[in-house]
Chains A and B, each alone.
Chain A
Amino acid sequence: MEFIGKSMTLSEVLKEIEKDIPFYDESGGGVTFSGGEPLNQPFFLLEMLKACGELDLHRTVDTSGFADSEVLLKIAEQTDLFLYDLKHMDPLKHQLYTGVSNEKILLNLELLARHGAQITIRIPVVPGMNDDKENIERVGAFLGRLPGIRQVHILPYHSVAQGKYRSLRTDFPLADVQPPTALQMEAIAERLQKNGLQVALGG
């Protein structure tokens, strides 16, 4: 086993970010904190967000939503946009596929939305797991009720991780799952749009 990646201090990360400011200035882009789960390092994340705020950079946090609610709301004060994962509406299935229940995740999403955060929802569409009509309709109904949800991105499952599993010498559990077809993705998009949501494929 080999350790990939490196430890960096706040100022080291900030220095890397600053290098790209000419590009942000031109394109209106900014910084995205993603992961893993950035909320696993809440203190570091908060300090980074503050520092970027002082540089007038647009700040996005990409999260699974599985975090302490109080921490999340503190982070929200320093965040311009959340990319928020929504994997399954059924608590048991969510537990089965991800190892944790979705209760806290849904609660946190509702909290964020009611506190005026800007949120883009991201749904990874995995055939046979969360692409059924019932789940998608429940997602649509839930999101349709929330304020501040800008957009929903539906992301077709892909097998890129297969190589990583191989290099970790671990069996790839989804070896038999095929990526959804364009037609399937369109049907899901239409279903979600019925709830007044803006849906984009990929993203």
Chain B
Amino acid sequence: MNERVERLRRKSFETMPCVSAERAQLMTQFYRENMYKYSVPVLRALNFKHLCERKTLYIGEDELIVGERGPFPKAVPTFPELTCHSVEDLKILDSRSMTRYAVSKETMTIYEREIIPFWRGRNLRERVFKEAPAEWKSAYEVGMFTEFMEQRAPGHTALDGIIYRKGMMDFKEEIAHSLAKLDYLNDSEATEKAEELKAMAISCDAVITFADRHAEMADEMADRETKPERRAELKKIAATCRWVPAHAPRDFWEALQMYWFVHLGTVTELNGWDSMCPGHLDQHLHPFYEKDLAANTLNREKAKELLQCFWIKFNNQPAPPKVGVTAEESGTYNDFANINLAGLKRDGSDGVNEVSYLLLEVLDEMQLLQPQANVQVSHKTPERFLKAACRVIRKGSGYPSVFNADEVIMEQLRIGKTLEDAREGGTSGCIETGSFGKEAFILTGYLNVPKILEVTLNNGLDPLTGHTVGLQTGDPRNFASFDALYGAFEKQLSYFVDLKIRVNNYIEQMYACYAPAPFLSVLIRDCIAKGKDYNNGGPRYNANYIQCCGIGTITDSLSAIKKHVFEEKAFAMDRLLNALQKNFDDEESLRLILFNKTPFYGNDDDLADSIMQQVYASLFNAIDGKPNTKGTEYHLNMLSTTCHVYFGRMLGASANGRLAGLPISDGTSPSHGADRKGPTAVIKSLGKMDQVKSGGTLLNQRFTPSVLKGETGVDSMAHLIRTYFNLNGHHVQFNVVDTATLRRAQASPEEYRNLLVRVAGYSDYFVDLDRHHQEEIIARTEHESL
């Protein structure tokens, strides 16, 4: 990277996130003066415009792409209409050791004097918790499930290519056309639609104003600038901000600035999950890149510099500060913008182009937390591109993650999208499948599947708190067969899923009524045509998901009970339950039998894998097809983010030999230390899951750098990926370990059972090597990671 980018990058990297009260303050002023004067959508749109007209602007030294969500980089606004942080919350944010957000005295005072008095009792979070039924609360409190929308808005949104062909003026014309067509005689919703459409038009004006203010500021800065080069850049910034987002972009630079204003608009309007995502950025930018190159107004180097400046803007926007359970399930600054590379074009041809390679280089050089990038590998993706991606992956940052584009398309076709819309879709957030620019695909929260087994084993009781949280499905000591136990588990599962969906549907309507997102609705297809909001079924497609966690832990636990209690009768259910209750105190030998003598998921062992299939089918049957409030359905998703740690803490000892409080298995990966037959066996086990019936699965694979050394290493990784995808795998990401991890593996070998290291002409499990040899490997790895 050049010096400019290096300076910008360092600044972004080193700046500490802080809470900004500006948005909260502006919005509170606006609401005080304007509540009840307008319909809710128009009120929200005018509030958005109020923010765009008044918020503090920032154009930094060296910057080429401009605009911040807060008053300056890493200053994070709050959304008191959804969650009104208490003084106590702010103190925790300011002092906690992980994902800390600095809170100034001034911010604290503004909150105490203005924000809290107004929003207390009025914010959605409080209203939701007040309305939720007691049985929901008791399940929520013991860590049975989480609720995504309790402090963040519905999101996981990604855009298609429309904003590179249409500006806000074009959208306003469409809105006017839609308004003119309203049929007040025959359509009982006409008034409601009119209000929504008016709100959309206002929000278009809002972002145009926001850009114009940047243009003015850049012009003023240019007048004061003494260096002619920077003056010219500021002039170009001003001209760009005057053109986009009002009009469709004309060149590469304008295209990036166009996206960025749109991005800032959506994340200022509401704090939707996973911020916003440009989708297939390589495909969107390619026409501009080619055109500018041909016109000699851009070269590869300049394009890369612009992309890097653009990249840094994402990193400047940490996730809004999360508290409570939400902070546990997603404890990170990462706001999950996830750029898609490769994949297929709308017409089914290969999506890889020169910008794909450029973006891969940018990702490699920047090494920043945000944005993330992923590679969508289809059967048409050239080997050259896949290998280029593998070379970046093996450097160890975990980026890019890799997706099976063909599978992602199939998952969408299964739930009724057109082939073209599915191809234009991809992955946002972590691993979530959606149709970009045309869908609201809403994740509603995580489900602690091993916890459901725990409650089943305790006849509806949570053993950690002693509270009754589930159904009374019988004392498992009296179950005559594994099938009887499994039947009870299915009853509990269905009870908790329905309980969760009941409250989800309530919250969904709260957002439709009180927190519409008119600006986001402008950008997502069919909202304008239908006159309906993004949060109220406006998009062409609407889907809800429940993310099921701990498939490894539940499979292994059931496998252990099936084998040792019911089939071999090595010990009675009573002894097992007592051991679990005591966290295996005085029962270490029992624990070791469970942990070492049970068929576990992740070893290509049909005994264990058939149980995984059984559980997966039960989850699917309990969730898929349940109605949401938009006339569409719930589906299954197999992601855990950081929730497996929280869920593990809320779970006692489990029958797979896992001690109380330790994390449950992540995503669809095997339990820690359960997969003992190498990465190929893991992939074969995962291949037995009918992944196309989900909205995404997640597989972590961990290697040492030396396993992936040289061209052979790149080839092996590419083969592993292609093979997994031939078996219909959805996603895989590689963790290339460093010395620190190897040291931790020495300290707790059981957790690192599956860590493969390159020994000589072969690979072996690190924890199986003797100390002397481990030391040798550590020395070597350190050398290789230089």
Contact = CB atoms under 8 A, between A and B. Distances in A.
B480 interface: no
Contacts of A27: 715-716, 719, 723
Contacts of A162: 772-773
B748 interface: no
Given A26-B719, A163-B770, A20 B726 contact: no
A158 B723 contact: no
Contacts of A19: 604, 681, 684
B770 A23 contact: no
Nearest to B720: A23
Contacts of A23: 680, 719-720, 723
Interface in A132-146: none
Interface string B676-720: 000011001001000000000000000000000000000110011
B759 A160 contact: yes
Contacts of B773: 160, 162-163
Interface string B602-616: 001000000000000
Interface string A16-57: 000110110111010000000000000000000000000000
Nearest to A155: B761
A166 interface: yes
A160 B727 CA distance: 36
Contacts of A25: 723, 726
A158 B681 contact: no
Contacts of B759: 160
Nearest to B684: A19
B98 interface: no
A47 to B, nearest CB: 24
Interface string B651-694: 00000000000000000000000000000110010010000000
B769 A163 contact: yes
A99 interface: no
A22 B727 contact: yes
B304 to A, nearest CB: 33
Given A19-B604, A160-B773, A26 B761 contact: no
Nearest to B770: A163
Interface string A119-133: 000000000000000
A25 B722 CA distance: 10
A110 to B, nearest CB: 26
Interface in A159-188: 160, 162-163, 166-167
Contacts of B715: 27
Nearest to A153: B761
Interface band, chain B? 20 to 34
Contacts of A116: none
Contacts of B716: 27
Nearest to A156: B760
A202 interface: yes
Question: Which of B716, B761, B773 counts the most chain A CB atoms within 10 A?
Answer: B761
A22 B724 CA distance: 9
A158 B760 contact: yes
A20 B772 contact: no
Contacts of A22: 684, 687, 723, 726-727
Contacts of A166: 770
Interface in A53-106: none
Given A23-B680, A160-B773, A202 B761 contact: yes
Contacts of A202: 761
Interface string B735-768: 0000000000000000000000001110000000
A23 B760 CA distance: 22
Question: Which of A20, A22, A29, A167 counts the most chain B CB atoms within 10 A?
Answer: A22
Contacts of A5: none
Nearest to B687: A22
Contacts of B723: 22-23, 25-27
Contacts of A163: 769-770, 772-773
Contact of A26 (B681, B687, B726): B726
B677 to A, nearest CB: 9
A167 B759 CA distance: 18
A25 B720 CA distance: 11
A22 B723 CA distance: 6
Interface in A179-203: 202-203
A203 B680 contact: no
A166 B769 CA distance: 12
A73 B313 CA distance: 68
Contacts of A167: 770
Contacts of A20: 680
Nearest to B721: A26
A36 to B, nearest CB: 15
Contacts of B680: 20, 23
A123 to B, nearest CB: 13
A180 to B, nearest CB: 13
Contacts of B761: 155, 202-203
B86 to A, nearest CB: 54
B701 to A, nearest CB: 14
A137 B726 CA distance: 48
A2 B37 CA distance: 85
Given A19-B604, A29-B719, 8 more contacts: A22-B687, A22-B723, A22-B726, A22-B727, A23-B719, A160-B759, A163-B772, A202-B761
12 contacts: A19-B604, A19-B684, A22-B726, A22-B727, A23-B680, A26-B723, A27-B716, A27-B723, A29-B719, A162-B772, A163-B773, A166-B770
Report, nearest first, the 7 A-B pairs whose CB atoms are least far apart: A27-B719, A163-B770, A26-B723, A158-B760, A26-B722, A23-B723, A26-B719
Interface of A: 19-20, 22-23, 25-27, 29, 155, 158, 160, 162-163, 166-167, 202-203
